[in-house]
Amino acid sequence: MTQLHGYSDPVNHAFAFAAKHHDRQVRKGTKLPYLTHPANVAVILTRYDRDQKTVVAGILHDVVEDCVRDGYTREMLEQRIGDKFGEHVLETVLAVTHRRLNDDGEELSSDERKIDYLERLVSANESARWVCAADKVHNANSILSDLRRTSDPGSVWSRFSVGKGGTIRWYRQVLDRLRELGFNEPIVDELADAVIDLEGYA
């Protein structure tokens, strides 16, 4: 396992790749460049001393899901990630990517995509579970930070198609699934704290 100590060319390469594909994208309800999210996921993973491939996958985790545009198909993005960063990184990214189609090519509803995501965590590698947890830690804490700063909580919850109840329930479902799978790393405690704080707004 290659730990990160100082400069890392693969991590720098991953940031350049993510910056290119997330260009012009912003975080929901904000003017923040979308790249701030994968950057924070990378920081969280590094804080827990994760290996280089896991950090790279964390940086790239939303590319396939969010960047099918500008002439790039999902297949093309998968091919590029596999070629540039290796099969382990690609496998990790795909494990935490919400799928639009199931194995039979049938379109999934929003609820079905969430169920599919949770089901695929069962067979996901350890890196994917780390990326999943770090992703949710950052997103949940970003919501909490915005809620604490605003006098209009409804403006925060309105960013999400499933509203307040559905959003809070989703973070609880991910937390519970990770625990069910025996993923009891310290990051799960951090996620649990964020989920409990979110549930305080229910």
Classify residue 81: in a domain, yes or no: yes
> Could you read off the pLDDT of 61-81 as tens digits, one per residue?
999 998 887 778 999 999 999
| 24 within domain boundaries | yes
Position 2 in a domain? no
Please report which residue ranges of 50-150 form alpha helices under DSSP H: 52-60, 63-66, 74-85, 87-95, 110-120, 126-149
* Cα 82 to Cα 76: distance, rounded to the nearest angstrom: 10
* Domain residue limits at 63: 9-99+106-199
- Does a structural domain hold residue 1? no
Residue 35, domain member (yes or no):
yes
Look at residue 128 and tell me whether its pLDDT is greater than 80.
yes
Mean pLDDT of the chain, nearest integer: 94
Residue 122 has pLDDT above 80, yes or no: yes
Number of domains in the chain: 1
Q: The domain that contains 87 carries what CATH number?
A: 1.10.3210.10
Read off the pLDDT band of 1 (50, 70, 90).
low
Distance CA 110, CA 106 (A): 13
What is the reported pLDDT for 66? 85
Instruction: Decide if 4 is inside a domain.
Output: no
- Looking at residue 146, its pLDDT comes to 95
φ and ψ at 34, to 5 degrees?
A: -60, -30
Q: Give the pLDDT band (50/70/90) at residue 6.
A: low
pTM for this one? 0.94
pLDDT digits (tens, 9 = 90+) for 140-163: 999 999 999 999 999 999 999 999
CA distance 9 to 19: 15
Residue, of 25 and 131, whose pLDDT is higher: 131
The answer to whether 49 and 134 have CB atoms below 8 angstroms apart is no
Residue 107's SS3 state is strand
Q: Taking Cα atoms as reference points, which of 36, 38, 50 lies closest to residue 5?
A: 50
With a cut of 90, say whether residue 7 has pLDDT above it.
Answer: no
- pLDDT range class, residue 32, cuts 50, 70, 90: confident
Quick check: 188 pLDDT over 90? yes
Q: How far apart are CA 116 and CA 145, in angstroms?
A: 29
Residue 125 lies in a domain: yes
Which residues are bridge partners to 33 per DSSP? 26
Sign of CA dihedral 146, 151, 155, 157: positive
| Residue 150 covered by a domain | yes
